[in-house]
C-alpha cells in the first residue's frame, strides 16, 4: 500500500512538470512583424519596426505563463477553448488570421491550439490585450491590441527562441581556424 501511495504521489507531483513541456519556455527574441491602425472604419498598416528585443517565458506555480520583459513580469492566463476562444478581424492587413495560426500549428482543431492572454497596462499604449499562441516547438505568435481614443491598434509580434547556447566557449588557441576561399 505504501508503494502504491508513493507512486500516486510521484505521479501527482510530476504532472505539473510534464505540463511545462507542452510549450516552449526560456529566452526569446521578439520582433514586431505586422500591424495596423483602424480609425473610422479605415485601416492603415503600421510602419515596419525591425528592432528586436528579448524576453523570457516561464511557468509559475499556478501553471500560468509569466512573460518577463525589461524586468517586468506579466502573468498570462490560459484562454478557455484556445484559438477557438479568440476572435479578431485581420482583413485588409498582413496580420495573421486564425486560419493561418491553425495551419502553422500541428493541430487540426482550433480548440487544441493553446492560447494565453491578459489585459495589461503597456508603456505608451495604455491598457492593451496581450495574446500568445505557440507556433511549433520554438516560437510564438503574439498580438498586442489597444484601443486609444476612437482607434484600434493591432501589433503582431513573433517570438523566436534565442539561438545558440548563451555560455558558448571561446575557441581554443591550439585549434587552427578553417581557411575559407
Predicted TM-score (pTM) of this structure: 0.73
Q: Would 110 be classed as within a structural domain?
A: yes
Q: Would 60 be classed as within a structural domain?
A: yes
Q: Domain of 138? A: 22-161
Q: What is the pLDDT of residue 92?
A: 85
| pLDDT averaged per 10 residues, the chain (length 181) | 34 38 82 93 88 93 93 94 89 89 90 94 87 89 91 92 63 61 58
Quote the number of domains for the chain: 1
| CATH number for the domain that contains residue 145 | 2.40.160
**Residue 172 in grid coordinates:** 581554443
Amino acid at each position: 500500500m505504501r508503494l502504491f501511495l508513493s507512486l500516486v504521489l510521484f505521479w501527482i507531483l510530476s504532472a505539473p512538470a510534464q505540463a511545462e513541456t507542452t510549450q516552449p519556455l526560456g529566452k526569446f527574441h521578439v520582433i514586431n512583424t505586422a500591424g495596423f491602425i483602424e480609425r473610422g472604419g479605415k485601416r492603415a498598416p503600421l510602419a515596419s519596426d525591425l528592432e528586436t528585443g528579448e524576453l523570457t517565458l516561464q511557468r509559475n506555480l499556478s501553471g500560468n505563463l509569466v512573460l518577463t520583459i525589461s524586468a517586468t513580469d506579466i502573468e498570462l492566463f490560459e484562454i478557455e477553448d484556445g484559438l477557438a476562444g479568440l476572435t479578431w478581424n485581420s482583413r485588409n492587413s498582413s496580420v495573421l488570421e486564425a486560419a493561418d495560426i491553425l495551419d502553422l500549428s500541428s493541430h487540426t482543431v482550433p480548440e487544441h491550439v493553446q492560447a494565453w492572454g491578459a489585459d495589461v497596462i503597456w508603456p505608451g499604449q495604455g491598457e492593451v490585450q496581450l495574446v500568445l499562441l505557440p507556433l511549433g516547438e520554438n516560437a510564438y505568435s503574439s498580438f498586442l491590441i489597444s484601443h486609444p481614443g476612437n482607434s484600434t491598434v493591432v501589433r503582431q509580434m513573433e517570438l523566436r527562441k534565442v539561438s545558440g547556447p548563451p555560455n558558448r566557449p571561446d575557441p581554443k588557441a591550439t585549434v587552427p581556424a578553417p581557411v575559407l576561399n
